[in-house]
Chains A and B, each alone.
Chain A
Amino acid sequence: QKEVEQDPGPLSVPEGAIVSLNCTYSNSAFQYFMWYRQYSRKGPELLMYTYSSGNKEDGRFTAQVDKSSKYISLFIRDSQPSDSATYLCAMSGGGLDNMLTFGGGTRLMVKP
C-alpha cells in the first residue's frame, strides 16, 4: 500500500461546477500538506499549502486537512476550463529535510 493514495480519475465536470479532490495517507508523521497543479508536459506548481489540521482558502481554492482521519481535500469553486490539469497532493514530515511524498495525481477535465 502506498503512503499517499489519490484517485487517478479522470474527473470530468462542466464549467462552473464545484470540484472536490481528495487524498488519504497512512503516515501520521506528516505535518505539512500541499496541493500542486501540473499541466501536461510541465512541472508541478504549488497551489495551496497547509500546516497541520484546518482549512485554508485562496480565491476559488479551499484546502482542508483532517489529521485525525488522515484525509486532505482540495475544493475548486466555479471551475474553469483552464483548471483542466492533474492535481497532486503532497506531504512532508517536517524534519531536517523537506522530502515530499506525492499522491499519484487526479486528472481533472473541465468542459465548457
Chain B
Amino acid sequence: DSGVTQTPKHLITATGQRVTLRCSPRSGDLSVYWYQQSLDQGLQFLIQYYNGEERAKGNILERFSAQQFPDLHSELNLSSLELGDSALYFCASSPSGGAAETQYFGPGTRLLVL
C-alpha cells in the first residue's frame, strides 16, 4: 500500500458527461501528479501540483482540469467525455515535487465511457 488513495475505483459513464476523480496524497506529501494510462498511449503525465499551485503540465486536454485543495487532496475533472477517454487514471504524490523525488502511485480509477 503506497499511502495514496483514489476514489472511485471504477466509473462507468456516457459520452458527453462530466466526472470528477479524487486523490489523497501520502501523509506529508505536498505534490500531486496525475497520469493517464491507456492501451495505445501507455502511461502519460497529465499535470502536477505543489501545495495548491500548478507546477507542470503535460499532455492534458483542454476538456480536463485539475486542482489541489488546501488540505492537499486533488481532483481531476474530465468533461465532454469521449470514448477515447476510457483509461486508467493514476494519481501519485511526493514530498515536495522536486527532481529526484520518488513518486508513489495510488491504485488508480478505471474510467469506462460508453
Q: Which of A68-86 contact B (CB under 8 A)?
A: none
Q: Please encode chain A, from 81 to 105, with 1 for each CB lying within 8 Å of some chain B CB and 0 for all others.
A: 0000000101011111111111111
Closest-CB distance, B110 to chain A (whole angstroms): 8
Closest-CB distance, B12 to chain A (whole angstroms): 16
Asked if A97 and B43 sit within 8 Å, CB to CB, the answer is no
> For A32, what are the chain B residues with a Cβ–Cβ distance below 8 Å?
99-100
A90 to B44, CA, bound (A): 11
Given known pairs A44-B43, A103-B42, A105-B43, the reply for A96 and B103 (CB within 8 Å) is no
B97 at the A interface (CB under 8 A): yes
How many contacts A-B (CB < 8 Å)? Answer: 70
Asked if A99 and B101 sit within 8 Å, CB to CB, the answer is no
Q: Please encode chain B, from 72 to 114, with 1 for each CB lying within 8 Å of some chain A CB and 0 for all others.
A: 0000000000000000001000100111111111111010000
A101 to B59, CA, bound (A): 11
Closest residue of A by beta carbon distance from B105: A43
Interface bin, chain B:
20 to 34
Q: Give the most central of B35, B99, B100, B104: most A CB within 10 Å.
A: B99
> For A90, what are the chain B residues with a Cβ–Cβ distance below 8 Å?
43
Q: Please encode chain B, from 28 to 52, with 1 for each CB lying within 8 Å of some chain A CB and 0 for all others.
A: 0001010100000011110010000
Interface bin, chain A:
20 to 34
A45 at the B interface (CB under 8 A): yes
Asked if A102 and B99 sit within 8 Å, CB to CB, the answer is no
For the A-B complex with A32-B100, A95-B99, A98-B100 known, give 15 more contacts whose Cβ atoms are closer than 8 Å: A32-B99, A36-B105, A41-B108, A42-B108, A43-B105, A43-B108, A88-B43, A90-B43, A94-B99, A94-B100, A96-B98, A97-B48, A99-B58, A100-B103, A103-B42
Shortest Cβ-Cβ A-B pairs, 7 listed: A97-B56, A43-B105, A94-B99, A102-B43, A104-B42, A44-B105, A99-B45
Residues of chain A at the chain B interface (Cβ within 8 Å): 31-32, 34, 36, 41-46, 49, 51, 88, 90, 92-105
- The 11 listed contacts between A and B (C-beta, < 8 Å) are A32-B99, A36-B105, A44-B43, A45-B105, A46-B102, A46-B104, A51-B100, A92-B99, A99-B33, A101-B45, A102-B44
